[in-house]
Amino acid sequence: MRKGESSITSLISAFSRAYHSQFDTPVIFNDYIVKDLISEKERSDIKENMVQGIQFFNDDIAQKFKGKSEEILKWITQVQLSPTTLARSAYCEQVLLNEIKLGLKQYVILGAGLDTFCFRYPELEKRLEIFEIDYPATQEFKKRRLSEVNLKVPSNLHFVPMDFTKNISYQHLIDEGFTNDKTFFSLLGVSYYLTKEELSSLIDSMFANVPSGSSIVIDFADENLFEEKGISNRVEKMVKLALLGGEPMKSCYSYNEIESMLEKSGLLIYEHLSPSKINERYFSNRKDYLSAFETIHYLHVVKK
């Protein structure tokens, strides 16, 4: 991420969720609000950049759909942009809603981007405190956009600006009303962009003062991230796109490596979804291009 600039990957992720809710069937994750947070110019620019760049993604598809911009956009979105953000969001929200049924009172979103959970579940305003932690410029961008589209910030949503690559300040959370009660965290689309030391420090900091039973859903790239090409070379393209966007991917892990790191923070893996399990759970029997990314895994991890 370029210093002082909002995250481009958070905007692309929002675009893909909006596209999916409007045009794909069946819907894996229905983020029907996020489209309102993307301006017409941003939507148009993303579409134009993707369509004009189709040869970067796949020359055969460029030839097959020459002159058919909507077909090109569908292919790029479903093959390259949407799979991970949709499935990880669906998985995380499923775990979260179950935790709420069990009495959860606090939810911390690490790297929130243009998350819309609180707006899609207004009935939780009196039951769940939500803390969105993000890079200051990205968070300010979201707050401006909410104001521009007249989406009122509910009383249970708290914004906490923080740079994960620097010292983590727990006090900022406490200042917003965070308490040492059982907490659910999400860390989606972030681990790849942190060094291993930064990720370990972040998890240590977040779980240091919460009780046993607190948990987190996290996605991570496995040790094949920088070698695996994937369908239509999409894994390789993902890594290149992140670099071009000024947000280079820095870290990947074997299962044993990330398990060991989490254990050092007093955490145990409760559930692990490998790419094949993700594909089976969220993408089976589809008639479009959507399928699970080859190198991305999801974990639900619980404090001992």
Residue 2, domain member (yes or no): no
Sign of the dihedral defined by the CA atoms of residues 182, 132, 98, 294, in that order: negative
State whether residue 257 is helix, strand or coil: helix
* pTM for this model (two decimals): 0.95
Instruction: Name the residue among 184, 182, 134 with its Cα closest to residue 158.
Output: 134
Residue 1, domain member (yes or no): no
Instruction: Name the residue among 238, 230, 303 with its Cα closest to residue 266.
Output: 303
Q: Give the pLDDT mean for 214-237.
A: 97
Grade residue 1 by pLDDT with cuts at 50, 70 and 90. Answer: very low
Residue 3, domain member (yes or no): no
Q: What's the number of domains the chain is made of?
A: 1
Stronger pLDDT, 170 or 259, i.e. the higher one? 259
Stronger pLDDT, 244 or 67, i.e. the higher one? 67
* Average pLDDT of the chain to the nearest whole number: 95
* Chain segment 77-92, per-residue pLDDT in tens: 999 999 999 999 999 9
Which domain range does residue 142 map to?
A: 8-303
* Chain segment 40-84, per-residue pLDDT in tens: 999 999 999 999 999 999 999 999 999 999 999 999 999 999 999
State whether residue 46 is helix, strand or coil: helix
Residue 131, domain member (yes or no): yes
| C-alpha–C-alpha distance, residues 56 and 252, integer Å | 24
Token readout for 74 is: 């569908």
Question: Within a 10 A sphere around the Cβ of 286, how many other Cβ atoms?
Answer: 15
State whether residue 12 is helix, strand or coil: helix
The CATH number given to whatever domain includes residue 282 is: 3.40.50.150
Instruction: Name the residue among 93, 95, 102, 156 with its Cα closest to residue 124.
Output: 156
